Amino acid sequence: MCASATYAQSEQYVLDQLDRWEKTADADPASEEAQLFNARRTLALGEAARAKNLAKAFIERYPLSRWRSEALLIRGDAEVALGDEYKALFDYEEICRKYSSTQTFIPALEREFEIAKAYANGLKKRFFGTIRFLSSAEDAEELLIRVQERLPGSQLAEQAGMELADFYFRNRDLLLAAEAYDLFLENYPRSSQVPKARLRLIYSYLSGFKGPQYDASGLIEARGRLRTLQAIEPVLADQVGADGILIRIEESEAAKLLSTANWYLEVDDPISAELFIRRLIMRHPTAVATLEALRIIPNIMPLLPPSILTSAPDYKSLRVALLGIPWEQIEFKDPGALRLLETQGAVSNDPSITPAPTTGVAP
């Protein structure tokens, strides 16, 4: 054999039973395996553009090769090295869809996760290979979901699940964030990130409450999760101030009930208004909203039928006990109640009873 031919040959080694490298044979430099090895070595040497061309030529020359997935992985890695990670996704996706039984499947999935994580943390896509200003949020979301679907129960899927939940949380998509953290707790109950997921789930529910005029189901969920946290991880619950958060939740729920009562007054429905005030006083007797409700309840009582009055709580005693204000000292603090009283002729003509300014009830 001539010297040039000998120089062109590639050597192959395998590990023997003692984990020592053992030479097996010289590979033909024209073989598919040798060409692929050359492309991989070129990429390792930092020549990404040349490695990309070698892998591309291999794919075009051998479309049915058993090494095709390897060539796709090399070309994708070369694209990433050249700064075009979005183009690399096409090669990684082909591996994940067509070659899931090969040894290149997990590496391709890991590459997709790294790109998704970069996109989720704000990396923009290039505009036709030029500057980066295209949003990549949808791509990040889709890739993180695919990773979990393609390798369920794995450490990679666990990382993708947490990254997806954090992505929603950072972008203030709190309903999806709560759903993602809840799913993470269900799928990975032994994960080291379970405490973080529990806290973020509570914060998502709390932050999703927009005010007394809106749905309060998130508050109920947050309260249940906090009580669970106090039961199973009391130290962590103390660290985050669970007791204080529960008080805030109670005040928000009370404000929601008072807001609903005020709305019924606005639509001329004093019976429903009293019903919600009754619920407010029974469920949250120490809340600030309860004190405010006791200020306006004397304005509503003259509008109620006898059947409602007979079953109503002892508002007089409660008003005196909690506010220290006698029942006869009526304060018209709610515009809706004042308007109803005036319409139905229930406003007292007694000059000793002075209506308060109609400033409205602070939620």
Q: Using the predicted structure, report yes or no on whether residue 353 has a pLDDT greater than 60.
A: no
* Residue 80 · residue 111 · CB < 8 Å: yes
Q: What is the pLDDT of residue 299?
A: 85
pLDDT band at 20 (very low <50, low <70, confident <90, very high): low
pLDDT band with cut points at 50, 70 and 90 for residue 56: very high
Tell me phi and psi for residue 314, to 5 degrees.
Answer: -80, 80
Neighbouring-strand partners of residue 125: 134
Distance CA 198, CA 233 (A): 10
Q: What is the dihedral of CA 298, 300, 302, 308, to 10 degrees?
A: -110
Highest mean pLDDT among 10-19, 163-172, 262-271: 163-172
pLDDT at 344: 41
The continuous run of DSSP H or E covering 315 comes out as: helix 315-323
Q: What is the pLDDT of residue 142?
A: 96
Domain boundaries, the chain: 26-151, 241-363
DSSP code of residue 208: T
Residue 41: its pLDDT value, please? 92
What pLDDT does 120 receive?
Answer: 95
What's the topology of domain 26-151? Answer: 1.25.40
Mean pLDDT of 211-231: 83
Q: What percent of the chain has pLDDT over 70?
A: 82
* pLDDT computed for residue 52 by the predictor: 95
* Nearest one of 157, 236, 216 to 363, comparing CA atoms: 216
Indicate the pLDDT class of residue 14, thresholds 50, 70 and 90: low
CA 177 to chain centroid = 1
- Pick from 48-52, 259-263, 337-341, 346-350: least confident: 346-350
Highest mean pLDDT among 66-70, 250-254, 345-349: 66-70
pLDDT of amino acid 6 = 36
**Which residue(s) pair with 22 in the sheet?**
14
Q: What pLDDT shows up at residue 67?
A: 92
**CB neighbourhood size of 113 (10 A):** 22
Helix (H, G, I), strand (E, B) or coil at 59: helix
Q: What is the Cα–Cα distance from 181 to 187, expressed in whole angstroms?
A: 10
Q: Average per-residue pLDDT in the chain?
A: 83
Coil/strand/helix, residue 151: coil
Across 194-202, average pLDDT: 93
Report the pLDDT value the prediction gives residue 210, as an integer from 0 to 100.
Answer: 76
- pLDDT tier, 192 (very low <50, low <70, confident <90, very high otherwise): very high
Spatial distance between the Cα atoms of 41 and 61, rounded to a whole number of angstroms: 19
Nearest to 87 by CA among 51, 129, 124: 129
More confident residue, 54 or 219: 54
Per residue in 82-101, is it b (16+ CB within 10 Å) or e — as a string? eebbbbbbebbbbbbeebee
315 pLDDT band, cuts 50/70/90, is confident
Tell me what the mean pLDDT of segment 120-147 comes to.
Answer: 90
Which stretch of 58-62, 151-155, 329-333 has the lowest confidence by average pLDDT?
329-333
SS3 state of residue 133? strand
Please report the pLDDT score of residue 76 as a whole number.
Answer: 96
Per-residue pLDDT tens for 246-296?
888 888 889 999 999 999 988 999 999 999 999 999 999 889 999 999 888
**Predicted local confidence at residue 312, as pLDDT:** 87
- Compare 281 and 9 and report the one with higher pLDDT: 281
Cα atoms in the 13 Å half-sphere on the side-chain side of 138: 2
Confidence of residue 3 (pLDDT cuts 50, 70, 90): very low
Instruction: Check pLDDT > 90 for residue 141.
Output: yes
Question: Residue 38: is its pLDDT beyond 80?
Answer: yes
